[in-house]
Amino acid sequence: MDKAYKRWLIAIITLVVLAGGYYFYRLSERTVYTNDAQIMGYETIISSDIDPCRLMDLFYDEGDFVKEGALLALLDRSLIEPRYQELRALVLQQEAQISFQEAYLMKIKDDYMRATKGFQDKIISVQGLDHATRNFEMAEASLASAKAALEVAKNQRDYLEEQIAHTELKAPFTGQITKRWQWKGNVMNKGQAIFSLYDLENVWILANLQETDIAPVKMGDEVKIQIDAYPGRTFKGKIFAIQGSSAGQFSLIPPNNATGNYTKVEQRIPIKISIDNKEEKLYFFPGMSAEITILVK
């Protein structure tokens, strides 16, 4: 191999290296990368709003898929049912009492009208008219009191009827039960978790970008997504939300540098990314790790 050929070979290799370096430099200017990303989804905690209550039965378990409206659990209604039946009977009694009071008021009103005419004709004394007037006013007050008592009884009945309906815990949306926190027979307080239910149809990527990388990132930027569970596959998405504060502001103890003990720490800005080409046969479970590359405009 002569010297001229070697010089040309070295020159070509140098040009290729320089061109490749320039390409990757320009590429790095147009992309933002992070491996601080994971799949997220909407979680609902299925719990009771009756306090206290006993869990009588569970119809699903961890890993089960449920449809919207499916009966998930049944709570004890034995302490509510007797009072509910009592109030139903009380409502019927108050309705009968109102019918009686209305009929009685009509009779008293007729007596009052006759007494008024009799007083005008000087047949009935002032005392007789006053007696008829007071009976009429008392009958009106009794009817009003009966109607008010009926409304109170109806409200109490309706409240307990709603309580009984709430002993049946149903799925608010179609999804998968990811965690069962209780077992039948347990006595729980209001708000205590029974199931964790995830909507697996509506998932996204939550990525935390370094604050020094956030400047070129814009809403709608296209993103390449690699999910650790599926090496070699690339999914596509777009940025649909950029959180208006750093992730540290939502920690249990937000940073406070007012004491003077200050160490500068690079903050992370959360962004949300859609997954536009999910494959139905693949799992996209909240918590799965991912890596993202943003193609900034």
CB–CB of 180/62 below 8 Å?
yes
Nearest to residue 40, comparing CAs of 190, 297, 240, 280? 240
Q: Is 13 helix (H, G, I), strand (E, B) or coil?
A: helix
Contacts of 182 (CB under 8 A, 6+ apart): 55, 58, 188, 192, 193, 194
Q: pLDDT (tens digit, 9 = 90+) per residue, 192-222?
A: 999 999 988 889 999 999 888 888 889 989 9
Buried b (16+ CB within 10 A) or exposed e, 62-100: eeeebeeeeebbebbbeebeeebeebeebbeebeebbee
Q: Is 32 helix (H, G, I), strand (E, B) or coil?
A: strand
| Dihedral of alpha carbons 179, 185, 187, 189, sign | positive
Q: pLDDT (tens digit, 9 = 90+) per residue, 99-145?
A: 888 787 787 777 667 667 776 766 777 777 677 778 777 877 888 88
Count CB atoms within 10 A of the CB of residue 150: 18
pLDDT band at 79, cuts 50/70/90? confident
Q: Which helix (H) or strand (E) holds 271?
A: strand 268-274
- The phi-psi region of residue 31 (left if phi > 0; otherwise alpha if psi is between -120 and 50; otherwise beta) is beta
Q: Give the whole-angstrom CA distance, residue 130 versus residue 111.
A: 12
- Compute the average pLDDT of residues 286-294: 92
CB–CB of 55/182 below 8 Å?
yes
